[in-house]
C-alpha cells in the first residue's frame, strides 16, 4: 500500500531526508522545482507558450521562483514572474530564491494590489501561491486574486496543491480555491485529492518524485493508504492444482424483488465470474425463469426456506441487499443474518432496513462488510456535512464494532477494523450507471466465500471492479454493469499470472 502523509508527516519526511542526505531545505526546493519542470515540459512542450508564474510568500512560492528559472534554462521564451505578498510575510527560503532568480534576465513584477493582475488568456498560469502550508482560509485580497486567476481563461497548473485547498481535513466548498487544470504534486498525492469536494480545485494530478526517503515514509503511522496493483497481486491467490468447486466456497446471494430481479442477477453473475465455487440465489420464485435462462450455473433456493440459522449453515458466505426492497420481510431476514455466524456482506436495501431499525447496528457481527453509498451511509450513521467527517464516523464505527465499511464513491474508501482507510484508485465515470453496486457486492461476496479476510476481500473487490471498468473504458464511453461483470475473469487472470 502507498502510505499517504499528512502535512506534518510530509514535513518530517523532508527533515529526515535533509538530515540523511546532508542537504539543505534550499536544495530540496531545487529538487522539487526540477521534478516539477520535468513533468511540466512533457505536458506543455511548446517553448513559445506564454507562462505567468504567480508566487506566494512561502516555500511554495520559492518553488515557483526556481521553476521560473529552470523553465528559462529549458528555453521557454515567454515567462513572467508575479510576486504576491499582500501580508508582508515572505519566508527566508523565498527570499533566498528571489535573490537567485533576480540574477536571471526574467521579467519580475510585484503584485501590490489585486487589480494589477494580468495573465495571457490562452497561456499558462503556474500557480505557486500556497501549498501545504495553508493554515487558515484565505482572506479578501487572496480570494480576489484567486477569482481572477480562475476567470483568466489561462490553463492553470498548480505547484503541489491548488492554493486554498487544505491538504487534509474538512474542505469547505465556500472557501476560495484555485481551480487547477493540472496539479503537479510532490512525492505523494495529498489526502484531500481523493475527497469529492476537491473536484472544483483539481481536474487532474500527477506526482513528481522528489526522492524523499521512501523507507521513512512507509514507516509513518498513517491512516490513509492508496491501494496499488502490486498490493492486489499479493492478496489474490491463483487457483490451485487439484482444486474443485468445494475449494472455492459456496456463496449465497439474497437479492431481488418482483420489480428488481436484475439486481439479483447482476450480483449473482459477478459472484460467478469472481470465482465462487458455488453460487446460490435466494430470489422470489417469479425470477426463477430469468435466473435459469441468464445464469444456468447459479442454483436457486426459495427465500422462504431461509427461515432459521440451520438453513444458512451450508453457505461459506452470505451477501444480502441488492433489490430486496425495504420491507418487514427484508428486516427480518437481516436480523436473522446478523445471528447466522457466517461471513456476511450487507448492501443496498439490507442497509436501508438497518437504517430504519438502528438498534440492530450494535448487533452487526465483527467482520461484516457494509457497502453503502453516501446516502445509505448517512441514513445509517447520521447526516454529514463533509466527506472528511463521514470518514471519521466510519473509522469510529469500524474500530468500535470491528466491521468493515466500503464507502462507495469515485475513489471508494474501504475502512477496516483498525480504522485504516484504503483508497481504491481504479474506476471511471463511464461506470456511472445502475447495477454497478450490485456487481461490486457480488465480487466481494465471491472473495469472502473463497476465504479471504473481509477487509482484503473488500479492497480487492473494489480494485477488480474498477479495473474491469477501466479496461472497457479504453474504447467505450459508457459501461453496462453486466459487461463489467463479464470482464472480471480476464482481470483476475491478469492479476494472478
CB of 11 to ligand NAX, least distance (A): 7
Taking CB under 6 A as the criterion, the residue among 58, 166, 249, 461 binding ligand NAX is 58
Only one of the segments 50-58, 175-183, 194-202, 264-272 lies at the binding site for ligand NAX (rule: CB under 6 A); that segment is 50-58
Residue position matching grid coordinates 453486466: 482
Residues in the interface with ligand NAX (CB under 6 A) total 32
Residues with Cβ < 8 Å from 32, sequence gap 6 or more? 63, 66, 160, 186, 208, 210
297, three cell numbers: 450455473
Query: Toward ligand NAX, which CB reaches closer, 210 or 265?
Result: 210
Taking CB under 6 A as the criterion, the residue among 2, 6, 9, 59 binding ligand NAX is 59
Interaction of residue 63 with ligand NAX, rule CB under 6 A: yes
Binding site for (6S)-NADPHX, residues?
A: 263, 323, 373, 438
DSSP string computed for 217-259: HHHS--SEEE--HHHHHHHPPPPPTT--GGGG-EEEEE---TT
Q: What's the gap between Cα 97 and its chain centre?
A: 35
Q: Is 186 helix (H, G, I), strand (E, B) or coil?
A: strand
Residue 361, judged by CB atoms within 10 A of its CB (0-12, 13-18, 19+), counts as: middle
Burial pattern 16-48, b for ≥16 Cβ within 10 A else e, equals: bbbeeeeeeebebbbbbbebbbebbbeebeeee
Binding to ligand NAX, residues 75-134 (CB under 6 A): 87, 89, 91, 130-134
- What is the rounded CA–CA span in Å between residue 234 and residue 246? 23
Binding to ligand NAX, residues 143-182 (CB under 6 A): 159-161
Asked if residue 371 lies in contact with residue 444, where contact means CB atoms within 8 angstroms, the answer is: yes
Binding string to ligand NAX for residues 204 to 223, with x set by CB under 6 A, is what?
Answer: ------x-x-----------
Query: Toward ligand NAX, which CB reaches closer, 138 or 484?
Result: 138
Query: Toward ligand NAX, which CB reaches closer, 140 or 239?
Result: 140
Q: Is 131 helix (H, G, I), strand (E, B) or coil?
A: coil
Query: Toward ligand NAX, which CB reaches closer, 66 or 334?
Result: 66
- Residue ranges that bind ligand NAX, judged by CB under 6 A: 10, 14, 28-29, 32, 56-61, 63, 87, 89, 91, 130-136, 138-139, 142, 159-161, 186-187, 210, 212
Amino acid at each position: 500500500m502507498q502510505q499517504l502523509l499528512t502535512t506534518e508527516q510530509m514535513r518530517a519526511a523532508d527533515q529526515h531526508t535533509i538530515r540523511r542526505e546532508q542537504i539543505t531545505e534550499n536544495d530540496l526546493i531545487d529538487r522539487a522545482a526540477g521534478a516539477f519542470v520535468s513533468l511540466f515540459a512533457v505536458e506543455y512542450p511548446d517553448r513559445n507558450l506564454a507562462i505567468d508564474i504567480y508566487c506566494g510568500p512561502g516555500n511554495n512560492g520559492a518553488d515557483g521562483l526556481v521553476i521560473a528559472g529552470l523553465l528559462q534554462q529549458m528555453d521557454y521564451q515567454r515567462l513572467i514572474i508575479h510576486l504576491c505578498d499582500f501580508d508582508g510575510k515572505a519566508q527566508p527560503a523565498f527570499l533566498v530564491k528571489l535573490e537567485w532568480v533576480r540574477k536571471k534576465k526574467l521579467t519580475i513584477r510585484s503584485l501590490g494590489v489585486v487589480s494589477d493582475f494580468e495573465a495571457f488568456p490562452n497561456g499558462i498560469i503556474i500557480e505557486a501561491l500556497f501549498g501545504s502550508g495553508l493554515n487558515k482560509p484565505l482572506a479578501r485580497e487572496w480570494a480576489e486574486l484567486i477569482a481572477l486567476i480562475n476567470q483568466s481563461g489561462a490553463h492553470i497548473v498548480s505547484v503541489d496543491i491548488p492554493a486554498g485547498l487544505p491538504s487534509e481535513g474538512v474542505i469547505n466548498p465556500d472557501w476560495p480555491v484555485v481551480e487547477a487544470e493540472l496539479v503537479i504534486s510532490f512525492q505523494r498525492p495529498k489526502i484531500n485529492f481523493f475527497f469529492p469536494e476537491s473536484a472544483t480545485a483539481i481536474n487532474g494530478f500527477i506526482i513528481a518524485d522528489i526522492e524523499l526517503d521512501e523507507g521513512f515514509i512507509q514507516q509513518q503511522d498513517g491512516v490513509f493508504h492508496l491501494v496499488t496493483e502490486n498490493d492486489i497481486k499479493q492478496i489474490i491467490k491463483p487457483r490451485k492444482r487439484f482444486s474443485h468447486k468445494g475449494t472455492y466456497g459456496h456463496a449465497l446471494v439474497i437479492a431481488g424483488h418482483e420489480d428488481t430481479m436484475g439486481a439479483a442477477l447482476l450480483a449473482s453473475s459477478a459472484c460467478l465470474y469472481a470465482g465462487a465455487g458455488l453460487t446460490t440465489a435466494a430470489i422470489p420464485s417469479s425470477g426463477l425463469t430469468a435466473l435459469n435462462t441468464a445464469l444456468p450455473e447459479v442454483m436457486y433456493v426459495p427465500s422462504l426456506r431461509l427461515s432459521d440459522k440451520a438453513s444458512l449453515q451450508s453457505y461459506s458466505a452470505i451477501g444480502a441487499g441488492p433489490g430486496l426492497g425495504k420491507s418487514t420481510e427484508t428486516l427480518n431476514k437481516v436480523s436473522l443474518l446478523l445471528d447466522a455466524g457466517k461471513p456476511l456482506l450487507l448492501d443496498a436495501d439490507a442497509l436501508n432496513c438497518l437504517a430504519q431499525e438502528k438498534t440492530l447496528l450494535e448487533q452487526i457481527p465483527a467482520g461484516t462488510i457494509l457497502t453503502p453509498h453516501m446516502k445509505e451511509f448517512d441514513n445509517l450513521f447520521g447526516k454529514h456535512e463533509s466527506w472528511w467527517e463521514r470518514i471519521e464516523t466510519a473509522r469510529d464505527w469500524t474500530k468500535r464494532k470491528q466491521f468493515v465499511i466500503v464507502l462507495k464513491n469515485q475513489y471508494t474508501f474501504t475502512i477496516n477494523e483498525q480504522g485504516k482507510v484504503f483508497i481504491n484508485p481504479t474506476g471511471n465515470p463511464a461506470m456511472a450507471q445502475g447495477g454497478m453496486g450490485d456487481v461490486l457486492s457480488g465480487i466481494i461476496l465471491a472473495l469472502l466465500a473463497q476465504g479471504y479476510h473481509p477487509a482484503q476481500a473488500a479492497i480487492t473487490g473494489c480494485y477488480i471492479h474498477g479495473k474491469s471498468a477501466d479496461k472497457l473504458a479504453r474504447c467505450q464511453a459508457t459501461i453496462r454493469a453486466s459487461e463489467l461483470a463479464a470482464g472480471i475473469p480476464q482481470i483476475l487472470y491478469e492479476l494472478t499470472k
